[in-house]
Amino acid sequence: MPVVRLFLAGDRVGPQLRRSGIKIKKQILDAERGAAQDVVDYVVPKVRSDIAKSGKFKGHWLSDFTGKITEGGGFIRVSFTHADFRWRVFEYGAVIHGKPLLWIPLSFAKDAQGIRARDYPGRLFRVDRKSGGAPLLLGGNPATPKFFGKASVTIPKKWHMTQIIGEGATKMKTFYNARMKKNG
């Protein structure tokens, strides 16, 4: 039986196809990695901006949201995390219950801001009001109100991380196609 060999510009077709297959495989992998990085570059600044706009969130609240790209098992994975476990409260909203009361600093008590009632320097004493208003914790000399007590507080949804990550995921195809055009 005769053997047929195809040559294209001096080389056999088989080795040429293998080389071009390796080249295309590398282009595809580079485009996938680039698109994953584009998603991270799209999502992280948008989420940090959303967090900053939602209130008094600065510093670690912004920098603790990160995106990471990993590879393994033939997959490229993009994951997003927030290092502070309390992020869920602001992403989904929550009702926080006291045990039995939450002690919230009064806005005019500057020395109580950012401090838990149990960590307040000096002695505090409770005053239950006859009018039925929220109980107060007083401290200092002369004694002035520092905290008021509430059974629970409702924190509404403030952040939109899940929604922004979803937007980034829907843009993956666009990012991939742009990378393929650029690499091809």
Give the tens place of pLDDT for each residue, 34-83.
Answer: 999 999 999 999 999 999 999 889 999 999 999 999 998 888 999 999 99
Task: Please tell me the distance from the alpha carbon of residue 110 to that of residue 106, in angstroms, as a whole number.
Answer: 8
pLDDT given at position 132: 84
Q: Is 73 helix (H, G, I), strand (E, B) or coil?
A: coil
Looking at residue 145, what is its pLDDT?
92
Per-residue model confidence (pLDDT) at position 73:
87
pTM of this structure: 0.75
pLDDT at residue 10, rounded to an integer: 57
Low-confidence stretches of the chain (pLDDT < 50) are 6
Please state, in angstroms and rounded to a whole number, the distance separating the CA atoms of residues 73 and 138: 61
Looking at residue 86, its pLDDT comes to: 92
